[in-house]
Every structure is written in structure tokens, then in C-alpha cells.
Structure 1
Amino acid sequence: MTESVFFQPVIIGTDLNTYGVARAFHMAYGSISKVFGTRKLLMVDHSKICDVTEVPNFSNDDIMVKTLKDYAVENSNKKLILFAASEQYVFRILSNYNELSKYYVIPYTEAEQGIFLSNKMNFYELCEKYELDYPKAEMIDHRNYSEHKSELSFPVVLKPAESSDYFDLKFEGKEKAYILEDADSLNKALSSIYGAGYKHNMILQEYVYGDVTNEYVMNVYSDSQGKVRLMSLGRIAIEDPDPVMRGNYVAIISTEMNEDVQMLYRKIKHFLESINYTGLSNFDFKLDASDGKFKVFEINMRQGRSSFFSTLAGANIAVPIVEDLVMRKPVESIIYGDKNFLWMNCFSGTVYKMLERTDLELFHQAKKTANKGTTLFYDKDLSLQRRWVIFRYFSLYKKSLLKNLERKQK
């Protein structure tokens, strides 16, 4: 009898992240994941590895908790592992951690630490303490934003401290993060944001020099004893060129395991183990072209939206989670994502076309990489209906990507 008989992945949310987690578990253990959400998004539509239940008003915490408790009672013979597909769902798990942890093992940090780290200024204080390089930052108080006097030199980056509420807003000129060259553009952006109804603080941060290919993303799993068990780093090859989608990756490629990368691994391991962090984490970095240092932007207390790149790299997040939370195996060695890979969220032809216009060196590296794949195209879950859904999604996304890239390069 396999381990999959004794445990069940349960995922809240129905997006790309959901399918990435479900696929990781299916590849490692043959598991079918149980998925709950308000509605079924195309990423899990017609899937044989995601058993999806649509729950009316699932955005209501009482309904979410009741749904999860009822499912747990019905499946009390299995160890249930609870995952969140988005930051919003992570915070809803943290808000109900004491109740949900009675029924589920949760591969995220506990509520108190999670809420503390979700404040980026708290995170930066810890970075200072544990010698992680980061771009200096200031908090702009929403109550008197027009009076803020910055000590940072331009250019600067402006981004919301409370991202979930911000992303629901709609207004002209909206960007996920703003790169601003002077005080006038900063004041204009703040006026637009707060004029649209945003009611939280903003973060102002020094600009880290370099283009998108200087950006990196790391997935980590720290076990229930606070020991790091998995680490995987990828280099951003393409970012969605739509300003509102900044930070959504289109392609991630492997990077050489040189001394700088090894040092980054050591620093992140030291940081997480020093604060006794447990569960999944996801870090965003940029290699500063001005001083050659990796600068960390933030920690996300979950698997990344594009976390399936780790599986391509040889570091399947499902394995250490099951070994730790289900099998209770002590850590023997860290799993590193050290295989060459190319992860894509669109057709490979679209990736090549975009890289040919933006970075010829990465274009040639991508063409030579044999180990390439997407989260959604899974050969063990490709019925004709599902194949058509994904093909249509990638076709529409291709048009959007190329259109926005052309607009950006004008």
C-alpha cells in the first residue's frame, strides 16, 4: 500500500498555483488532490488530478472553515495536507490556524510568525539583523501620504504594503509596482492610488539596477523542526510586460551553481533556521548591477505561483512535505534544484520569439535546454477537452504578451 492511501492534498483556490501543487503530488505519489474554490478556473478545468468542488460564498471565512472541517470529518482516516493557492488564502488559513490545524497538517508557518513577516518592514528589520542584503525602504502612512519626506534618492520603487486590497482597485495608470524618476511622478502616483480608494500604507524603496533577467526566485521548504529541506533557485527569463502584471513570470531558466549562488543559499538557510521558520517560503531577489549583490525584496509564506519550476529542476516540493509531515522522517540532506531547466507559462515558440527580441544570450540558452516544460501541459492529464482549454488559453495569452511587449519596446 503506498503513502498516497494515507494522505490527501487539499488545496483552496483553483489557479495555476493549484495545478502546480496537484501535479507535484501526482508525479511523486500518484495522488489526486481535493480542490475547493468559489469557481473553477481554466487551470484546473477537465483535470483528472484535481477533484474540484465549487463552493458558493467560499470567500466567507465561516463557510470556508465549515467546508474544510466537514471534508476533514468525512476523511478522518487520512492525513490531510492543506495548501493555499494565493497570498489571500494563506492569510485566511493563518486567521483560522488554531481551528484548521485540528484537522489538517499545514505546510506554512504558524499564524503569529506569518502575520509578523507579512509586514515588509518587519521582514527588512530581520534582514538587517541576519545580514541579508535588501533595498532600503520607507513606509508611507496612508493618513498623511502627501506630507511624506523621503530620504531615498531617485529612482525609487513604489508598491502597496497591502497587496490584496490594492489589486482589486481599478484606475488609469495602475501598475503592480511603480518605478519613479522624480518627486512629481511619485506625488502623482500616490494621488492616483489613494484617489481610487486605497486605504493602506505604501512602501517606497530604493531602485535596484538591472533588467528583468537580473531577477531571481527561490522556493524553500523548512520542516517542522525548523530545518531547511529543499531549496531551488531560478532566473527570470521573461516577465509579463503588462505593467499591471509586473512580477508574473512567463519563463524561468536555470542558473549556474557558482559561488555567489551557493552563498545565497547559505544566507537564506541561515536566516530561516535562525528565526525557526517552518513551512514553505518563496523569495524574490534581484542581482544589483551596481554592486553585484543579491538583494531580497520579500518573503512569501507559501509556494510561489510558478513553483513547478522546482520540480523541473529536480526539487519536487511534495517530497519533503510528505516525508516531514506524514512519514515523520528526519532530514537526511537538503534537496537542491540543480538540474538545467526552462519553465514556461506559454508556448515555447512564444518564449523564443520574446527572448529573440529581448535577450539573445538567454534565447540561445533556452533553445539548447532539453529539460523544458509548463505547469499545465501534463502528459498524464491531457484529455482532448483539457488539451483544447490549455491550447486556447496559451493562444490568447500569446497575443496579449506580444502586444504588450511591442508596446513596451516602442
Structure 2
Amino acid sequence: MTTPAARATPPFDLVMIGADIGVYALARAFHERYGVISTVVSRLATGPIANSKIIENVALGEGTTLDDTLRELLRIGQQRSQDVPALLMCNADGFVRFVVDHREELSQYYVIPFIDATLLDQLSDKGHFAELCAKLDIDTPTTVIQDFSGAAAPGWSASPIDLPFPVVAKAAASSEYEGMSFEGKKKIYFISDQAELDALWARLSAAGFAGRFVVQELIPGDDTWMRSITAYCDRRGEVTLLCSAQVLLEEHTPLALGNPAAMITTALPEAMEQAKRLLQEVGYVGFANFDVKVDPRDGTFRFLEVNPRIGRNNYYVTAAGANVAQFVVGDFIEDRPVEPVVVEREILYSILPQRLLLKYVTDPALKARVTALGKRGIAHPLENRIEGVRRRAYVVAAKLNQIKKFRTYYPEPTETGF
């Protein structure tokens, strides 16, 4: 728990956009470290943020737009005391793009700890990210780009893909894809053959998608071969936080596929060093979260993408002993160097019922490790003792709903995780 001494810091406010579990995890970190009550602007007061004692939610209502969000943020900024700085944070690619695009207006009232638009364009596009990794001798899956910018023109056709099937396909820039709606939409597509790929291209073209899609070789291995790396790089160019984890199981609903649902924090020096090198090479500032997969064929780390934000499951870092709030506050509010931290403590992070998780961890040695860690305690971002009965009831219901979701979308573990 936070001690009074830990809260002895210049006063500041925290304003966030969004309503998911990652936003609550950030609010929890700031409350535990600094006693801050976060203001959260969202369309609706969804379960992860509803009825919380550490959040003041401004719910704009169903059907509101980003323009409405901008107006509300400016209204809040105008009404605040300008004697106290306010951090503006978010945890979704679309919201990061929104904040960066409106930096000039928002920076009148808020401290904005995100990279600039040019670097965001480079890193948030998975195709450009792969090119940067190649330059820095960082391994990635073989990647092919399909550009849809001319898909509306008569006679347009997709380029041939020179990769063996099966392959994985996903939007190059998530922010260009998040707001789209069409039948069969998924976050990540497992493509078995050319006919499936042609059908996907047809759906995207018919839906009016005009961005880029990446098609990548399928790296073998189930979810347990995935790794997560969270980092913070300050304005002095120092990487002050590095934390890595082995994924145990990812979510498998169509629009959340690939989001870790359970992880064990474990130090991965080689992968963390590569992440650090990339961030310093491009002059990165702020939080970043890397998706990496270990290739079981040769043990190499294959970097899949970098998210220009802290990541939905950021609580695994705080729970392992490195409260994420202190890094951005030290950098942007206190304007001081923060002693670099490389997290080595091993903890089990999970939003799942333990029996459900153990069903999908098939390796006996790893299952025994998960069981032993579970007996020591499980870090769940929403299980916060400060919250009331309604919150606790929601967490129980959310865990039970995970059983239904896995039964529907991923009833049995597979060798590929698809």
C-alpha cells in the first residue's frame, strides 16, 4: 500500500480517456502511489471503471464522437486551476492518435506524455515497424504489405502474397481500423489458404478500408510462446523502466484476440535490450509496449509490434513492484531523472479463474510453476481492496464470463493458439 511519504510530491491531476481494464489499472497505480483520484472521460461507465472510489467518471453517452470528447477535455481543462498540472493519458491506439493530432489545443491545459505525430506514424504502422527492426538487426516475422488506398478504383486487385500458408493478417495501423464495422471483423486473422485471404481482402474493400494490412508468416507455438515487454523512455533519452513477461493465455474473442489474459513476469535480458535499443534509436518518449514471440524453431525473439502506449495489461508491471506512475510523474511533473528499474520479481498476473487458466497451460513444468505462483497470490487489476461490494461482484461476474467466452471462441488449446 502507498505510504504517506510516497505521496509527498508536487500536486497534479490525472485525466484519462477510455473505459477499459487498462485505464482502471493506470488509475489504480496513480492512486496507490500518489493518492490521485483520476478523472476519466468515456462514452459509457463500463464495468472496469464503474462505481469506483478512485475514479470520477465523465460519461458522455452512447453515440458521442471524438469531437465531443475533445470539447469535454477542453471544458475540463478550462475549469481546472492552472496552478496544478494535469497529465492527459489514454490506453488505446485510436485515443493516442486523437491526442497527438490535437496536441496543440490540448497542451494549453494538459501535460501530454506521448510521441509526436511523425514518430507515431512510423511506429504504429506494423509494416514500418518491421522495416525499422530490420535496420536495427532485430528479428521479426517475414512481412508483406497490402495497400488498400486505391481499393475503391475500378479494376483494383490485391497484390500476390509470396508466403506459405497458413499466415497471420492484421491492420498495419490499429487506429485506422478500430472504428470500422463489418461482418466477420477480427483484430487478428488466421488465414489457412489463398481463398480465405481473397475473402478477407474482399470484405475489407467492400467496407471501405483504405489503409494497409500486413500479412506475416505464422511463427509456430501457442500463446505460451508470446512475450510482453513494457518500457518507459524519458525526455533525456534514458529508458527508466523495463519489465517483461511470459504470456500464458491470450483472449480469443474476435475483437480482443491477442490481448494477454494471464502472464508470469520474468526477466528477458536479450529481448529487453533490443527493445531499449529501438526506443533510443528513434528518440522515443513515454510508455511503450512490445508484443514479441519466441520462435520455437531456433529460440529467437521475433518482435511483432510496438504499441505507443503502456498497454491494456499494464498492471503486471505495478504488481511486480515497479509502480508505473512514478516514471511518468518523475519525468513530466517533477522534471527529474528517475533511477532506471529492470523488474526481476516473478508474479502471476491473471484476469481468469485459475482452473480455466490451468486447462490451457499444457506443458507440465509450466503448469506446476503457474500453480505454485498462484498459491502465493494472483495479481488482478480490478481486485482492489479499496473498492466496494458492487465492484467485487463485477469482478466475480467478469471472471465467470471468461469461462463462457473461452468455451465459445477457444474451447480447447491448440498448437498455434488459433
* TM-score above 0.5: yes
The separation in 2 between residues aligned to 1:120 and 1:69, in whole angstroms, is: 32
Tell me the CA shift for residue 115 of structure 1.
Answer: 2.4
Shift of 1:394: 1.9
> Which range moves more in the overlay, 395-404 or 363-372?
395-404
Does structure 1 conserve the Cα–Cα contact (< 8 Å) formed by 2:124 and 2:173?
no
Alignment of structure 1 residues 188-267 onto 2, 5 Å: 188-255=199-266, 257=267, 261-267=268-274
Alignment of 1:193-342 (within 5 A): 193-255=204-266, 257=267, 261-332=268-339, 334-342=340-348
Matched, 1:161 2:172: yes
Matches within 5 A, 1:335-374: 335-355=341-361, 358-369=362-373, 370-374=376-380
Deviation of the 1:278 alpha carbon: 0.5
Higher mean displacement: 186-195 or 109-118:
186-195
Q: Distance in 2 between matches of 1:401 and 1:78?
A: 45
Aligned to 2:183: 171
Tell me: CA distance 1:113–1:375, structure 2 relative to 1, closer, same or farther (3 Å). same
Q: Shift of residue 161 of structure 1? A: 2.4
Inter-partner Cα distance in structure 2 for 1:220 and 1:9: 20
Identity of aligned residues (%): 29
Q: Check whether the contact 2:252–2:409 (CA below 8 A) recurs between aligned residues.
A: yes
Task: Work out the CA distance in 2 between the residues paired with 1:41 and 1:193.
Answer: 29
Q: Is there any run of 5+ residues in structure 2 with no aligned partner, and where?
A: none
TM-score for the superposition, normalised by structure 2: 0.89
Q: Which residue, out of 25, 34, 38, partners 2:30?
A: 25
Give 1:93's aligned residue.
99
Instruction: Between 299-308 and 183-192, report the one with greater CA deviation.
Output: 183-192
- What one-letter code is carried by the residue in structure 2 that aligns with 1:215? M
Q: Tell me if structure 1 keeps the 8 A contact 2:94–2:174.
A: no
Question: Deviation at 1:58?
Answer: 8.4
Compute the displacement of 1:341 (Å).
0.7
Q: CA deviation at 1:112?
A: 2.3
- 1:183-215 alpha-carbon deviations (Å, 9 max, x no partner): 233223323433444343221112222221110
Instruction: Measure how far apart 1:298 and its partner are.
Output: 0.8
- Map of 1:5-84 to 2, 5 A cutoff? 6-56=11-61, 59-73=64-78, 74-84=80-90
One-letter amino acid matched to 1:273: Q
Q: Which residue of 1 aligns with 2:119?
A: 113
Amino acid at match of 2:83: N
Q: State the Cα distance separating 1:267 from its structure 2 match.
A: 1.6
Q: What is the number of residues matched between the two proteins?
A: 401
> Distance between the aligned counterparts of 2:141 and 2:256, measured in 1?
21
Would you tell me which structure has more helix in proportion to its own residues? 1
Q: Could you state the TM-score of these two structures normalised by the residue count of structure 1?
A: 0.91
**Residue 88 of structure 1: how far off its partner (Å):** 1.1
Displacement of 1:271: 1.4
The Cα of 1:134 is off from its aligned counterpart by 0.9
Point out the more displaced range, 360-369 or 184-193.
184-193
Q: Deviations over 1:84-116 (max 9, x none)?
A: 131111110011012212221122212221123
Q: Which moved more, 1:394-403 or 1:9-18?
A: 394-403
What's the CA shift for 1:280? 0.8
Tell me the SS of whatever aligns to 1:44: coil
CA contact (8 A) 2:127 2:172 kept: no
Mapped pair 1:399 → 2:412: no
When residues 12 and 291 of structure 1 are mapped into structure 2, their CA distance, relative to the original with a 3 A threshold, is same
Q: Deviations over 1:283-333 (max 9, x none)?
A: 10000112211011111100110111111122221011111111112233x
- Aligned-partner residue type, residue 289 of structure 2: N
Q: Distance in 2 between matches of 1:252 and 1:238?
A: 7
Return the offset for 1:155. 2.9
- Paired residue secondary structure (2:410): helix
Structure 1 59/220 Cα, relative in aligned 2: closer, same or farther at 3 Å?
farther
Q: Is the 8 A contact 1:231 1:315 kept in 2?
A: no
